[in-house]
């Protein structure tokens, strides 16, 4: 019987699904391997005299770590001190060890080295260095092996500054070649990102003493991958590391999993856990290295304020010590949003402080929490990393229990390249780039997050069955009933546009009528569904959004828009009457200001005699105190302008009424420019359009732009410069997108001439794009 057959028999003596059996199985294999090598050494040294000192058979890799698989290679080093035996004698001893192993059918990686040669090889070859960190005695002189182990570890720590960039570069190269364990349907359990070799690198980083590694969850994930690897060896009878499709059912059965999808889900989850641990450990190692390199004495941390008590420090977003008493869902979401916008990770201590214990959410969610959650969804590509952090720390599962069934769930459709949960996040990222096309970007992002929430085991029509689930989530988030119904419709119909466009004639009036009926004859819902369709396809992969498919979808969309032109509901003009005390104070000649604090900032009412530029003055006043406007209602009644602003105060304390009154009377403005940096390449252009037919006696202008500090003040100045008064306005920010509607009048009540409208549109676009 061959060694491989004996190891397979030993590995298969008990059921794999028994708890703890994996560790016991690997312990049995380790004892067998060491016994085999001891017997081999005894036979090899009995044929010719070998000194007790200066010669040893050492083991490295999985054999040394006692976690090798049933058919893993033997990785051996025959050590000698260069003095105890002649060159020919040590070569003959090596042959008496290697050849019997080959005769037994063992795959062997072997070398013959002195301690000095081991150090030289480790210095030149990163892979060899990482492997030699685990060197253990197989047989022979234990002191010689200990000498090599200590010297390799010493060199590794001493050269950590030079080796760390090399380690990170090798990781990137290997991950690019072998992909990510979390994204492959046929993953390489060893070489892919999050695989077994990454755990070896994680241990090596800890051995550098630059940073400790996580324990607990990451060790359980590693054990899971080892179990799958062992089962794969037993099923195939070969020392494979790639989990091929044809082997997945048998491996799943051996491990006691329900099916291959359940197996892959556990593999993906384990890979994500290891990847997250490796990323964090590598980052902390880099921080430790920089601290050791730059420190010449006591060194204060360099903190860059981000607002709301958050700071950027050494490549991470951290929470200020004064904000510890403000921990909760809102602070956690603000921290995650800041980190995602900067594409910078949250500091581990900040993650721990904000998630231990997990902050609980009231149902329905408070408005400020829902707004902060939407802000996080709108952060773009940085969302992917931050969502992973929130998911692995348990936040997502606690706030969205419906997420658990889709977490790490594989998709076997050839057009999909991600697991269900990762596809949902990719769709949110893609939808964020399209949010300028819709009236309600917040509904688009939530629908993108939930559109495949029904894609779980046993469900055949995930769109239909997922719609009520999405509706329940939206209801729990605190959306209004009409908004919940729209989200539910979007989830239910998210495949409709592609199916109609590709399976039927997009130019046929009946096809157009079917789409119009699906969106309940509403242009605003059509735009949401079209954006969701495109984001979904782009997130799936290039096979799902070919030029042919995109052209058909866009053609059908144009026909449906033409059929629904003018049917989209518009905001009605604000006409609420003034309260008596407000009217009395303003009539007496004093502005009225009332501040109502909220968990996220405040609601501020400002009333004063209407005059040109008052709206701009109020907006600049709030910006001068570091406030961010979330929404506003503006109305003018009998010569009195009454504005209600909902604001956040990220960078300063909330002022009192007297401070605001003095600031309004003094015409206070923000210091310096209120603009922002030029928009990124590819950002959607700002838009200002006339809403025809929205009012009989006012010019209605809708402005769409990326929100920024001072935007409303600049828009107000543009109106005043054209001699136009704001009779009422609806100001709202959804997912970082300003969606503002203004009802404008002239002083004499006459209509606005077309040339003046054209000048106003140009001025508004210039105000939006100020940099």
Domain 3-158 has CATH 3.40.50.2300: no
Contacts of 653 (CB under 8 A, 6+ apart): none
What is the arithmetic mean of pLDDT over 660-664? 91
Q: Residue 71, SS3?
A: coil
What's the CA gap between 717 and 699, in Å, rounded?
A: 17
Structural domain boundaries of the chain?
A: 3-158, 162-294, 325-564, 580-768
Per-residue pLDDT, 57? 94
- β-sheet bridge partners, residue 310: 307, 319
Note the pLDDT of residue 680. Answer: 43
pLDDT at 413 over 80: no
- SS3 percent helix, strand, coil of the chain, rounded to 5, is 55, 15, 30
**What pLDDT sits at residue 566?**
64
| 513 or 238, greater pLDDT | 513
Whether 473 and 445 have beta carbons less than 8 Å apart is answered as no
pLDDT at 306: 87
Q: How many CA atoms lie within 13 A of 455 on its CB side?
A: 21
Q: How far apart are CA 765 and CA 206, in angstroms?
A: 54
Q: Are 331 and 308 in contact (CB under 8 A)?
A: yes
Question: Do 322 and 309 touch, CB atoms closer than 8 A?
Answer: yes
Extract the tokens encoding 549: 């498919």
User: Which residues are registered as beta bridge partners of 601?
Assistant: 598, 648
The count of residues in the chain is 771
Q: Please give the structure tokens belonging to residue 501.
A: 């466009």
Q: Which of 120, 124, 214 is nearest to 163 (CA)?
A: 124
> Using 50, 70 and 90 to split pLDDT, how confident is the model at 286?
confident
- CA–CA gap between residue 231 and residue 250 (Å, rounded): 9
- Convert the pLDDT of each residue in 603-634 to its tens digit: 999 999 988 889 999 999 999 998 989 899 98
Side-chain-facing half-sphere of 420: CA atoms under 13 Å: 24
Mean of all residue pLDDT scores within the chain: 88
Burial state string for 588-616 with b = 16 or more CB within 10 A and e = fewer than 16: eeebbbbbeebebbbebbbbbebebbbbb
Cα gap 605→603, rounded to integer Å: 7
Output the DSSP codes for 447-460: HHHHTTTT--TT-S
331 band by pLDDT with thresholds 50, 70 and 90: very high
Mean pLDDT confidence for 84-105 = 90
Q: Is the peptide bond before 37 cis (omega within 30 degrees of 0)?
A: no
Distance of CA 130 to the CA centre of its chain: 30
418 vs 412: CA distance, rounded Å? 10
Q: Are 272 and 396 in contact (CB under 8 A)?
A: no
Angle at 290 between CA 118 and CA 352, to 5 degrees: 105
Task: List, for residues 535-591, the tens digit of each pLDDT value.
Answer: 999 998 887 888 888 999 999 999 999 999 866 555 566 667 778 888 888 888 889
| Top-level class of domain 162-294 | mainly alpha
Contacts of 345 (CB under 8 A, 6+ apart): 279, 280, 283, 315, 316, 317, 339, 385, 386, 389
Region 725-740: what's the mean pLDDT? 89
How far does Cα 229 stand from its chain's mean position? 28
Q: Residue 306 corresponds to which tokens in the numbers above?
A: 């981000």
| 483 touches 443 (CB < 8 A) | yes
85 is written with which tokens?
A: 């035996």
pTM of the predicted structure, to 2 decimals: 0.84
Q: What pLDDT sits at residue 307?
A: 85
Whether residue 354 contacts residue 335, with contact meaning beta carbons closer than 8 Å, is answered with yes
- Beta-strand pair 108-113/74-80: parallel
Least confident window among 134-148, 201-215, 682-696: 682-696
Q: Quick one: pLDDT at residue 683?
A: 56
- What's phi and psi for 655, nearest 5 deg? -75, 170
Read off φ and ψ for residue 111, nearest 5 degrees: -155, 160
pLDDT of residue 679: 43
β-bridge mates for residue 644, sequence order: 605, 633
Contact call for residues 90 and 78 (beta carbons, < 8 A): yes
* Domain spanning 325-564, CATH architecture: Orthogonal Bundle (1.10)
């Amino acid at each position: 019987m061959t060694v491989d057959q004996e190891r397979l028999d030993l590995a298969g003596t008990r059921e794999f699904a028994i708890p703890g059996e994996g560790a016991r199985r690997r312990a049995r294999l380790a004892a067998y391997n060491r016994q085999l090598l001891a017997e081999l050494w005894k036979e090899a040294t009995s044929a010719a005299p070998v000194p007790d000192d200066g010669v040893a058979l050492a083991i490295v890799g999985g054999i040394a770590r006692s976690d090798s698989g049933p058919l893993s290679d033997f990785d051996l080093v025959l050590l000698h001190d260069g003095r105890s035996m002649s060159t020919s004698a040590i070569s003959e001893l090596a042959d008496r060890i290697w050849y019997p192993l080959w005769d037994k059918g063992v795959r062997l990686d072997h070398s013959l080295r002195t301690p000095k040669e081991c150090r030289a090889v480790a210095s030149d070859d990163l892979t060899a260095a990482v492997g030699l960190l685990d060197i253990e005695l197989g047989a022979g002189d234990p002191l010689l092996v200990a000498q090599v182990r200590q010297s390799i570890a010493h060199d590794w720590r001493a050269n950590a500054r030079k080796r760390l960039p090399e380690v990170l570069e090798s990781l990137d190269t290997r991950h690019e070649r072998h992909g990510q364990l979390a994204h492959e349907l046929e993953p390489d359990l060893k070489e892919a990102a999050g695989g077994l070799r990454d755990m070896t690198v994680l241990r090596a980083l800890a051995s550098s003493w630059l940073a400790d590694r996580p324990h607990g969850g990451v060790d359980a994930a590693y054990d899971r991958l080892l179990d799958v690897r062992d089962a794969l060896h037993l099923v195939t009878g070969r020392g494979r590391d790639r989990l091929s499709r044809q082997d997945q059912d048998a491996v799943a059965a051996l491990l006691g999993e329900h099916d291959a999808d359940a197996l892959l889900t556990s593999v993906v989850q384990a890979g994500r856990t290891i990847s997250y641990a490796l990323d964090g450990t590598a980052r902390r190692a880099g921080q430790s290295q920089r601290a050791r390199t730059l420190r010449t004495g006591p060194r204060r941390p360099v903190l860059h304020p981000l607002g709301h008590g958050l700071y950027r420090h050494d490549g991470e977003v951290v929470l200020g010590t004064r904000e510890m008493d403000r921990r909760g869902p809102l602070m956690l979401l603000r921290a995650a949003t800041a980190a995602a916008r900067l594409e910078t990770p949250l500091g581990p201590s900040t993650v721990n402080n904000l998630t231990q214990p997990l902050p609980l959410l009231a149902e329905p969610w408070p408005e400020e929490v829902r707004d902060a959650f939407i802000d996080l969804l709108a952060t773009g590509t940085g969302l992917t990393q931050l969502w992973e952090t929130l998911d692995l720390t348990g936040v997502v599962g606690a706030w969205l229990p419906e997420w658990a069934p889709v977490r790490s769930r594989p998709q076997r459709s050839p057009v999909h390249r991600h697991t269900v949960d990762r596809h949902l996040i990719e769709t949110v990222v893609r939808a964020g780039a399209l949010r300028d096309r819709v009236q309600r970007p917040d509904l688009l992002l939530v629908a993108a997050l939930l559109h495949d929430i029904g894609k779980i085991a046993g469900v055949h029509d995930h769109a239909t069955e997922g719609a009520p689930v999405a509706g329940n989530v939206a209801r729990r988030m605190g959306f209004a009933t009409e908004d919940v119904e729209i989200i539910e419709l979007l989830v239910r119909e998210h495949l409709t546009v592609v199916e109609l466009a590709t399976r039927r004639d997009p130019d046929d009036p009946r096809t157009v009528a079917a789409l119009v009926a699906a969106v309940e004859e509403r242009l605003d819902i059509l735009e949401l569904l079209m954006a969701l369709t495109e984001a979904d396809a782009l997130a799936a992969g290039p096979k799902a959004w070919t030029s042919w498919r995109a052209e058909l979808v866009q053609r059908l969309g144009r026909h449906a828009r033409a059929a629904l032109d003018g049917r989209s509901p518009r905001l009605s003009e604000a006409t609420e009457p003034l309260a008596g005390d407000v009217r009395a104070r303003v009539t007496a000649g004093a502005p009225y200001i009332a501040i109502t604090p909220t968990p996220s900032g405040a609601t501020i009412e400002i009333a004063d005699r209407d005059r040109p530029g008052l709206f701009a003055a109020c907006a600049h006043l709030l910006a001068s105190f570091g406030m961010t406007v979330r929404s506003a209602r503006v109305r003018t009644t009998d010569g009195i302008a009454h504005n209600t602003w909902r604001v956040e105060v990220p960078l300063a304390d909330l002022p009192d009424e007297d401070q605001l009154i003095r600031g309004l009377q003094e015409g206070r403005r923000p210091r310096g420019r209120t603009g922002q940096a030029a928009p990124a390449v590819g950002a959607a252009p700002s838009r200002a359009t006339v809403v025809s037919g929205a009012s009989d006696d006012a010019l209605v202008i809708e402005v769409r732009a990326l929100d920024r500090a001072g935007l409303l003040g600049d828009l107000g100045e543009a109106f005043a410069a054209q001699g136009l008064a704001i009779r009422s306005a609806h100001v709202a920010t959804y997912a970082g997108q300003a969606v503002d509607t203004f009802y404008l009048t002239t002083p004499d009540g006459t209509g606005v001439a077309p040339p003046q409208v054209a000048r106003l549109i140009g001025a508004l676009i210039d105000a939006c794009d100020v940099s």
